[in-house]
Structure 1
């Protein structure tokens, strides 16, 4: 009788463990989502929803290499790491809206889910570091699965390899959009803001003007604090 009872208990435990594992893999509830907004330029605009079973649903809206809907599956290791990251960041400790003084930078909305509850935090590029890191981690996961999320795409851009880019630092009070409109003959255009300071990645047509000449011209202008070639961050001045 005792042996039979022990066997029944053992089978019950094994069955419960299997159900728990199966339930975890089939959990289609939300884990975290990221939604990005436009900026003065061509910042990528997309939605990315991650479910607890590792399924990621993507929708590219504007200025992205891949528009429309797509999906991919995280590896077990990626999903585990993301769950740890979401728990560490703890969106629930932040206000729904983080105020910003940066008016022309992109915003992002992060949403965390716990059962039927959800927590939204919206802000710009001057949000607390943990929020920026979580956003960056989500983008890294997307790019690891073949979806470009960090670089905006200008639908009117010339073919790849035709334009070049420089980094321009403007005075804080200078409006970048008004400033760049002075240079239509060089086909200058704002690609994106790359810092909380008034620093921009600017594209130009090298057929219209050489890079060195353009940099020299811009450095002599009022309102321009610095100009340099777009190099890897470690090689910049």
Structure 2
């Protein structure tokens, strides 16, 4: 059954409301089998509502951004809303890239709000200086009664702030998530984000050179011409953001030139 505290009835699509009333009638006349069908329908209706949720219409409670580090730290933002909906936007080094949402339920939401009030985040400074530069920067923003509080830092933050971070990390790593929006590549539409055209130094053996990018699952696809050292390579955009991959390649001393591969339509427009 859909709780009106989590979803306003006028936010439910009209067709869904009509079907729910019809199924309510079925359960009165069809007994147990009708009830089973009704609850099955309700489960799928909730999933549909989650998928169609407009996050811009919801009121934020707290959000946390986990920034990058010098290694493979997960980069993501998690936001908890006042109706129990949670949005997770994964950027890199995370199993979920793009925007995913789920409902944590009223009891977990209430418990989180109690911890936020107890933490009294407004008494802390907005930023904490770090002594360890390669740690990820964690930014927590708390919303209360029309005001907000941002706390940013790495190490050296107080236990109350670390506890809120731990709770939000727990929410991020649990539950069943539904993808609402595919990850943005950050490259023009005509470009193929997971393919690069690389000009290597003529002394470089491509297969050996590619081993240094094993973490990005890079593989050499083919040589583009027998008379030059241009190669088509592919890599895993889940392992590294396309713009970061391009930047790293440009710093490689064995690479003379590198660019994203283009779609056929993009190449035709360039002519």
Normalising to structure 2: TM-score of the pair? Answer: 0.45
The answer to whether residue 113 in structure 2 is matched with residue 54 in structure 1 is: no
Aligned match of 2:94: 64
CA RMSD, 1 decimal: 2.5
* Residue 98 of structure 1, CA deviation: 1.1
* Residue 125 of structure 1, CA deviation: 3.0
**Alignment: residue pair count:** 132
Aligned match of 2:131: 101
Note closer, same or farther for the CA distance 1:92–1:136 as it changes in structure 2 (3 Å cut).
Answer: same
Aligned match of 1:136: 166
1:1-237 equivalence runs, <5 A: 28-146=58-176, 156=215
Paired residue secondary structure (1:156) = helix
Moved more, 26-35 or 57-66: 26-35
Paired residue secondary structure (2:166) = helix
Aligned match of 2:185: none
* Residue 124 of structure 1, CA deviation: 0.4
Paired residue secondary structure (2:215) = coil
Q: Which runs of 5+ in 2 are unaligned?
A: 9-56, 178-212, 218-271
Q: Which runs of 5+ in 1 are unaligned?
A: 1-20, 148-153, 159-237
Which 4+ stretches in 1 moved above 4 angstroms?
A: 21-27
Normalising to structure 1: TM-score of the pair? Answer: 0.51
Structure of higher RCO (CA pairs closer than 8 Å, 6+ residues apart): 1
Note closer, same or farther for the CA distance 1:156–1:97 as it changes in structure 2 (3 Å cut).
Answer: same
Retained in 1: the 8 A contact 2:5–2:83?
Answer: no
